[in-house]
Structure 1
């Protein structure tokens, strides 16, 4: 029998470390070749690590949430044959680093003399009725004397005895709470704290949002759009869609409007490398779709929207968003976007200030679509209105260009036939 050390491999794209997010094995497990060992998360995606050998797990290394560099031992296995760790000490038996202090267990303290503890009031006991203002509290002389010696106003101590009598244990319980009167109507203070480590996807989201807000000076711009005509067109197209064609939401129209407008504003369809001071402007339009998943926010990408019609945009949007929600999206499907759309649908609110998906320079966020009275000429009519919120990297995009860009989008969305006409943007 031999030992096999499974190390964190180089998963490519310059990734130097990864975070343990899920263990699939434990010591003592007999596993087959290609069995799942552990899921690790890189800056790009979650990767399932499988065993290249058959054997028995003897040790695993790293708790969930631990960051490990490439080459670190993740799993030790006992295998038939020599394995790959001949002559090496078992990792689990290796001595701790010299810099790691060895903590000795504290010496046991001699027992202290026992003291009578206040008898706690059971949580299930119904709170006594509140004492009316001016009502004299009932209590035994000994209880009154003890309250006087302790400086406790007896009228504030709730009594649990017959008729609201203050018992000795009531005084003890009152003192145990710091001398605070009981909350009215049986209400109680809650002091519990639930601590949880921020790991996995939630940690990646936190790091990315913090990095984006720290590095990018955001400029926000909001414009309202009349989508009455677009909604009418969308309803007609959905009513006549063929078998296999997806149902159209607002986003495919917005994607196609971006395709029409972005060539006029190439600095918007870009990624800014602020370490090298280089702005990469792209001909292809790769639209990130901010998607809420069970694990948190992810941004799958619809690539080459310029080469897709509105039905294909809708189809690909459903595919990549579905993969993200199911946890099956690949690194390629979660990277490479050049501009991002973020929408909360009916939860979109009136206005939002979306955070730019670094290193992009622009993000567009449609808000909630609502019917509102609108003045048109001398008349008031009901129209379907929606605000369009947006954020731009002010290092690259001037305020004038941001406003002009959104106005171009507004024109296409309010007159949706222009989206399908050449040279109409």
Structure 2
């Protein structure tokens, strides 16, 4: 037997260190070739590290949340043969010590005897609570009622994109759901069982609604949440923001959108407001190239772009991410809508790659129906502008001397005052307003 040390691989693009955000294995596990070992994160993109060999895990190279250098020891395995540590060479000390054989051997007989008497762990609790002959659904309900499996901070629950989307729509955090699939994967039935268990517990919670609480929870800021915190702090520290808010009458725009969806929705897909806003920005930016730009404040250079790569702020289970709608200037409404939908799904399923999360030149952010009246969006550094969409409300307005019902919406935007003058920002938003209020102009070249 030999020792095979797997080092943190070079992920590319000059990256010197990455953050360890999740382990797929633990000490004592046997791993197969190409089996995922760990997830690491760099610049908001998560990369899965596979095993190049077959072996048994002897030691892990770090804790979740730890920043590790490229080339540092990630994990060590015991393998058949000599491994990659030469015979006679000094083996570096393991970052984490595996359980000593003497320690493991002592309780072995007692553990074996205990297993014959009762099932162990969470699986045993579930098995003991399910009557013989119970259905799979009953077993899963019993599993949901049992204490949820303790997951390590930053550990990502296993679930398909469809399950993640359904959990998102239901407002359920998957880290609290017990999975019954292979390797603890969360299934649709597990969501059903969790919701049912939550419903049965609501009555008990109501009875103690006014009881004193003294519990505390320390939540490590790691993984994506750490990246978001760093990005927001950098943006606010380095960019002198100023905001500009304007009210937009989107009555005609919403009528147009309804007609387009009625005629083309089945064959081309439904349109939301975002593709129309993106189109308005593309047209308006032709006259305001200083806003479709990125500012390298260390080099003192503003780069203006002909291509309009729009970042679309998207909420995920882990936090806010900004996938990029590339070359919006070359896309029609349905192409933009399809790509925005694809990017949002990639973000929420955790499959968005580094290329999809970098390179934007201006950003749109929207809270949808929760958009409120006014927001003060934070610029996505090193960009110089961001446009925020607020909630559409129907209110009385005066048109041609008459009070009529109109659909109104505010645009709340922020700009980098170092490179964008207030007058230019106001003129840009007024140009966007004119295009949205007279949507035929969106298609006149």
Do they fold alike, i.e. is TM over 0.5?
A: yes
8 Å contact 2:271–2:337 — kept in the other structure?
yes
Corresponding residue number in structure 2 for 1:359:
382
Q: Which residue of 2 aligns with 1:341?
A: 364
Matched, 1:401 2:403: no
Tell me if 1:68 matches 2:68: yes
Q: Look up the match of 1:92.
A: 94
Partners of 1:324 and 1:370 in 2: CA distance:
29
Task: Give a deviation string over 1:187-213, Cα, whole Å, max 9, x none.
Answer: 665333221211111111111101100
- Deviation (angstroms), 1:380: 0.9
Alpha-carbon contact 1:15-1:43 (below 8 Å) kept:
no
* 8 Å CA contact retained: 1:45, 1:334: yes
Match of 1:154 in 2: none
* Alignment of structure 1 residues 14-93 onto 2, 5 Å: 14-86=14-86, 87-92=89-94
Aligned equivalents of 1:186 and 1:375: distance in 2? Answer: 48
Deviation string 1:62-111 (CA, Å, 9 cap, x unpaired) is 1111111111101101122322222132431799xxxxxxxxxxxxxxxx
The TM-score normalised by the length of structure 2 is 0.73
Matches within 5 A, 1:286-297: 286-297=309-320
Structure 2 Cα separation of the partners of residues 405 and 93 of structure 1: 56
Give the Cα–Cα distance (whole angstroms) in 2 for the partners of residues 90 and 61 of structure 1: 12
The Cα RMSD (Å) is: 1.7
CA shift at 1:35, angstroms?
Answer: 0.6
Please say which of residues 70-79 and 224-233 is displaced more in the overlay: 70-79
Rounded to whole Å, the distance in 1 between the matches of 2:90 and 2:395 is 74
1:321 partner SS: helix
- Is the partner of 1:53 in helix, strand or coil? coil
Which aligned pairs between 1:16-415 and structure 2 lie closer than 5 A?
A: 16-86=16-86, 87-92=89-94, 189-241=212-264, 243-415=266-438
Q: Which segments of 5 or more consecutive residues in structure 2 lack a partner in the other structure?
A: 98-207
Task: Give the drift of 1:310.
Answer: 0.6
Query: Helix, strand or coil for the counterpart of 1:389?
Result: strand
Q: Structure 1's 341 and 236: CA in aligned 2 closer, same or farther, altered over 3 A?
A: same
Question: Which has the greater radius of gyration?
Answer: 1
Runs of 4+ in 1 over 2 A off after TM superposition: 185-193
Q: Deviations over 1:246-276 (max 9, x none)?
A: 2100000011111111121111111111111
How many pairs are equivalent? 333
Q: Judging changes above 3 Å, is the alpha-carbon distance between structure 1 residues 89 and 222 closer, same or farther for their aligned structure 2 residues?
A: same
Distance 1:207 1:373 in 2: 43
DSSP 3-state at the match of 2:91: coil
Question: Closer, same or farther in 2 for the Cα pair 1:223/1:214, shift >3 Å?
Answer: same
Structure 1: runs of 5+ lacking an equivalent: 96-184
